[in-house]
Structure 1
């Protein structure tokens, strides 16, 4: 009996290449059109950081390697998670605020996204679907929250559309490329990348939690002992009495 090829049913390569080249050209053009002094305020500056970029690439690989019959459910769950992230972001901030160092590091949304995407991607393809679908909801939520917190333009109108375009381009392009390669080496490479995602998530999260507070803290006020008829003013009154006696 012939053994089915692992590459059977794979998509053509050209959609992924078109997305990768076309989207990359648009992003590069938007970067080059910026004046040299405005690179810090470039809307996509935060999207292309490691904490944002790596989970987006992992999400694209995860979606691209899912069975085709599960793609519709995966997209619906991901969009539902993104919507929940926008709606419940304030509740997320309240839950994460007591965690040391969370508020100063985007409430650890980046490391959480790495873990939520890395855990299902590291599993064998046969059982990956059962964990991937439930985790797409919280993964989409933390990615949406990370996108909102990564606004370096201070609420410029161009930030959210450009950031959404870049993230959709990254996920869709990587998904098409992952779907085009169904060979065993591609599956092994995806699981290796997933192990990196998990390690990076733990390392980034642990580093943020262990970071020392560098902000200036005012010294505490000295405690005043409240005793006697003129509590707290004895020293001042004694000095005034001495000054009067000297005169």
Structure 2
């Protein structure tokens, strides 16, 4: 952990307080100490705030759709015959095993302007799904949700198997409807798992990079840039490594807030069990 995460993180923090650019790459010139200049620049950088807003909106949409679809499939798996449940589980694991690079390429082909199957099915002709960022990011959201649903569905189904059957049966005998059983018994029992899945999804989706980068052929326009992409572009295209490091540090700090919440929920779940 110290070698893989600790040292790079310390290095990024140090860079965030320096003016590190092309001069340091091609010469032996020592970087100048920037104090808090890079962080003050973030406050007035409209592109940063646009990327942050875009990241938050995308994260909320991806997490909400992933959780809704995953939990729905898990509830369905609980009610279908065993052979169907095994088939669904196999398909979910198969989808989960597909690398994000491959799934992104598949969606890129499906939404291709000239030969995309989606345009053919919807009768849209040669519609360009990436002519504006709203449509392009919708495709990105679909890719992320498609890859996240298997883990959420399988984990939620595992939690559903721990719901006491005798309590559910007693509620049905007392006249409770399926919705009442779900809301009053099932969801409270599996809530710790749902909270953990939501927190993990937020952490993963907040860092989405590959899908957008591949869909836009390694050249995403400003309207496609999330915080991770914005930091990367500033570092490796703008050669503003100090400022890019400051953006990366702020991103890590935002994620730490979610991680603290996630760890607290794990501890509480452990104490409750």
Q: What's the TM-score, normalizing by structure 2? A: 0.29
Higher helix share: 2
Rg larger in structure: 1
